[in-house]
Structure 1
């Protein structure tokens, strides 16, 4: 950091301590205003590590944000690193403690990896995708454990057999000097017996493959409840999900996927059409690393055009110190084009086919989408009909 770097302390909106560091950093000639914020989560024994970044130079600089740390847990320099389910991140455990790194969060890293740490040169294994010395990046691919098939299942081994380290990386970003960019990475540490609730909202577009959402696209919403705890059981859980009005739901498609992979149907009465909410008590308690996911099929309707929809959820239950988790996700929807969705024909001209447009005269008899009426002084202009007196 350059001169002027300052540290502030304060409290969060939920009365927990928070730290902030603000300064100017010059990296390879690029001058950046950097703000680091550390604050505890309200719902988990987790520290939110956040960075706000602004180019105070000319802009148009491309940066790649990288985070890494050597590991040590309960005096063990080389704890094995395992995958969280649903590509949520990584964790490691010792006899009495568990450490987690959360990655599927708002503005979280795009890729993460658990790797061996080389003490010689203080850098990570060059066979990995990440480095520590001077934040060196190895290779041209942005691959990571999150992209590997073996990381799908909870508890899959990512890195072991030696001194281990953690790394996370964001995709390259070209900076606009008028904007502030936000990056976040969460880490947590807790002892045995603790429930650590988590909620994750996600969706799959079943209609298009252009990575954009359009009116009439069909989406599957997923509301996942997870216990990241250590030697614990989260019991008596009720999940409440809120679905935006811009999504038309089919309550008959609701299902709950249990941790063993089995599925059970969810009663259609669990969905309240007037409040757009699903209320569902999970059929089983969640032990460490277990999930239950409720899904429902929806279709984007015209109310969502050019808007960002935000389905959300809250899962809560039991009497543990932490017993509640909430989450939401953004679904940006493209502007729907204006189209003619009705057709006409001129009965006076004995037309037999309905068309988007037709030539008409004053007092002609026309048929609009099959309904006959008198048309007075109609003018056709750019695909629309205007009625005169």
Structure 2
């Protein structure tokens, strides 16, 4: 009996074991691929189209050069580019071959040169094989792409054990999406399981939103492990820059981009740039020389995870010589709660000499507080920067246009530009048009490799910002950079956008602060801007009101002040104030001459719906044309909740002084740069124009602008008194246009008698307040011819501008 029971027991065990194996097999057969449209990840794409074979839709960089990117094969056996490879391996589980090689789903970024040749950025195995399957396996096969490790692991981060694809992303599905500009984004979604990690992952190749010459390589990680997970992300590539048959391109020095932004490799006619100037970009990077077939992709990081960025190298500094060029990127440790998503990104740009790779960005700094929160009345300093990351390149940066959103009050006197982090140059306040809320800065600067130009300005957050926030609580501000690739034949002007989001805290205290004006001789009502001439009387009205819906009110003790700008003289008998409890205005008294002409008064408590009004008159005393912007401030305020209000600033009341023909601004420097002189005559073109050429000509009579150069009075000479020319003839030239700055123009010598910058007269038929002619005198519009006997030195001289009415018209 005992034996029978024992036999029955074992029979049951065998039965259940067989059933368990059967159920496990069924789960594997029915495993579903990840649905990229419903994977719980917000990747910025509203809808993905599912694909069965890899797509390749290159970005047209120039009429003859393209930047390609794909997950899979894009070449034939002769190293020609082709989009029709029918590669369906991007959804296969990646296969690991040793500690280095890995097949399928690999990121592939490349150039397509004018001969339709494939110019790789990474090593491509079996690239000329006659077997299609071998070529599919060889795509970027020695590059692991993204890797996930335990935090702080730097000793053995290898492709076969730590890469996302190799160990182990499964259940893959492939998608693509086309944006409004016709550019494609590709994505592979899948499950990732290793040890305690259970993630949903998206791998993405996406064109940069700020630069047409860059592609973003991204990974989204959603934690579905059921508990918080800690991990670290790396990205590694084994580079090879050039044609597949060019073995030299696999062993070249790796250089730094400077400022901790990443690395670049230049080989022959090609340059590869890897940057972190993207959302959620890498914090650390190292250059590697792959010496084994089991490379450690965390090699050369220190024990704290710092890489070559810690060395604070400059652009072009060599990081390492390499026998087999490679690199690694890393992000700081991630602590990710269950069902939360993390994002990782880097940009890659590949270009050919002499093309430009322009990177634009817009940022701001809160100058009022450092709490990380932006409040009403805070002052922000904005920086719009653009850098040329090209190769033997030259990009003419013509102008910047920035539409300022409602909720920001720009200070037009704060507009500056700065070249290569050098000296700031103040721009004319009239570059900001308050009626259209548009800032237009004629930059006129040539940018070669790694050169940058920034435009900065200050703006206050005003109370109406709250009414103009997007659904995420942000003001969005976008700058547009206009320029032309000078070294590439047939290039036309392009526009590069850069945006910044400005989150604004909703306050419990809100007030409306306005300043308006009217010209007594021409206006019936107060408004934000008007015109005037010398001798006109301008009435001003300042209003500071606590909004009816404000939770808090303003306690007594604040001061309202108006500093009167040059060009205005206040009538002291006209200064009147009406307080929050007053039924009528009362005489305030004169201005304070000891502090510079200003009007100020203390304020009693102002409750919800109450206001303080100040009115006064001023006579225009300006002798020259230009914009006079006047703002008022409230300082020293405290709300009923005991919170300081900070400095509050009104809108700017703009008075445009007209009816005077004259120059508002002329260029301060025509810079011809530095050159190596060999004793042979040489012609230089200017590399920048500092300052603007702005004129006022209120009537519609034709006129022209002349420029002259007197060699005897202000001739170009060095510190030792050596002149470039004894008589100045055929020394300095300007590109004279016919009737538009877009004309090709002809080179004309500049003499002491002067020459018009345009053969056809100018005419203010559009009744423009100010006429900006900087495009006629920008980069490439001036020539300097050096004679054979020129001595080395720093030469400076002066030119003269003249406005002349055309009496022949």
TM-score using structure 1 length: 0.75
Shift of 1:223: 0.3
- 2:387 equivalent among 206, 226, 238: 226
Ranked by relative contact order (alpha carbons within 8 Å, sequence separation 6 or more), the top structure is: 1
Match of 1:22? 189
- 1:332 equivalent among 500, 503, 506: 503
Distance of 2:464 and 2:230 partners within structure 1: 37
Distance of 1:16 and 1:299 partners within structure 2: 36
Match of 2:454? 293
Q: Would you say how many aligned residue pairs link Structure 1 and Structure 2?
A: 338
Shift of 1:16: 3.7
Can you list the C-alpha shifts for 1:13-69, whole angstroms capped at 9, x where unaligned?
Answer: 433444321110013321111111213347423222122221122142233222122
**What is the SS of the residue equivalent to 1:123?**
coil
Match of 2:428? 267
Sort the Cα spacing of 1:191 and 1:70 in 2 relative to 1 into closer, same or farther, 3 A: same
Match of 1:359? none
**What is the SS of the residue equivalent to 1:49?**
strand
**Unmatched tracts of structure 2, length 5 or more:** 1-167, 243-247, 485-489, 510-551, 558-602, 607-639, 642-809
1:143 aligned onto 2:310: no
**Unmatched tracts of structure 1, length 5 or more:** 130-138, 345-367, 372-382, 385-389
- 2:349 equivalent among 188, 199, 220: 188
Larger Rg: 2
1:54 aligned onto 2:222: yes
Sort the Cα spacing of 1:242 and 1:159 in 2 relative to 1 into closer, same or farther, 3 A: farther
**Structure 1 residues 222-371: aligned runs within 5 Å:** 222-235=383-396, 237-259=398-420, 261-304=422-465, 307-318=473-484, 320=491, 323-338=494-509, 339-343=552-556, 369=604
**Structure 1 stretches (4+) deviating beyond 6 angstroms?**
none
1:109 aligned onto 2:322: no
Sort the Cα spacing of 1:322 and 1:299 in 2 relative to 1 into closer, same or farther, 3 A: same
Distance of 1:125 and 1:181 partners within structure 2: 21
Distance of 2:252 and 2:554 partners within structure 1: 62
Sort the Cα spacing of 1:4 and 1:326 in 2 relative to 1 into closer, same or farther, 3 A: same
Shift of 1:204: 2.3
Distance of 1:214 and 1:119 partners within structure 2: 55
Sort the Cα spacing of 1:179 and 1:214 in 2 relative to 1 into closer, same or farther, 3 A: same
Distance of 2:465 and 2:284 partners within structure 1: 30
Contact 1:221/1:297 (CA < 8 Å) preserved in 2?
Answer: yes
Distance of 2:315 and 2:180 partners within structure 1: 33
Can you list the C-alpha shifts for 1:51-91, whole angstroms capped at 9, x where unaligned?
Answer: 22211221422332221223333433343333335544332
Contact 1:115/1:128 (CA < 8 Å) preserved in 2?
Answer: no
Contact 1:41/1:48 (CA < 8 Å) preserved in 2?
Answer: yes
**What is the SS of the residue equivalent to 2:555?**
coil
Contact 1:115/1:125 (CA < 8 Å) preserved in 2?
Answer: no
Match of 2:172? 5
Distance of 2:358 and 2:169 partners within structure 1: 40
RMSD of equivalent CA atoms: 3.1
Shift of 1:255: 1.0
Distance of 2:506 and 2:321 partners within structure 1: 48
Sort the Cα spacing of 1:232 and 1:251 in 2 relative to 1 into closer, same or farther, 3 A: same
Distance of 1:250 and 1:270 partners within structure 2: 11
Match of 2:156? none
**What is the SS of the residue equivalent to 1:269?**
helix
More helix by share: 2
Distance of 1:87 and 1:273 partners within structure 2: 38
Can you list the C-alpha shifts for 1:309-334, whole angstroms capped at 9, x where unaligned?
Answer: 32221112226378332111223334
Shift of 1:202: 1.6
**What is the SS of the residue equivalent to 1:76?**
helix
Distance of 2:501 and 2:321 partners within structure 1: 36
Contact 1:33/1:55 (CA < 8 Å) preserved in 2?
Answer: yes
Sort the Cα spacing of 1:18 and 1:297 in 2 relative to 1 into closer, same or farther, 3 A: closer
TM-score using structure 2 length: 0.38
Shift of 1:142: 4.4
Match of 1:63? 231
Q: Report which stretch shifted further, 153-162 or 261-270.
A: 153-162
Shift of 1:118: 4.7
1:33 aligned onto 2:178: no
Sort the Cα spacing of 1:340 and 1:370 in 2 relative to 1 into closer, same or farther, 3 A: closer
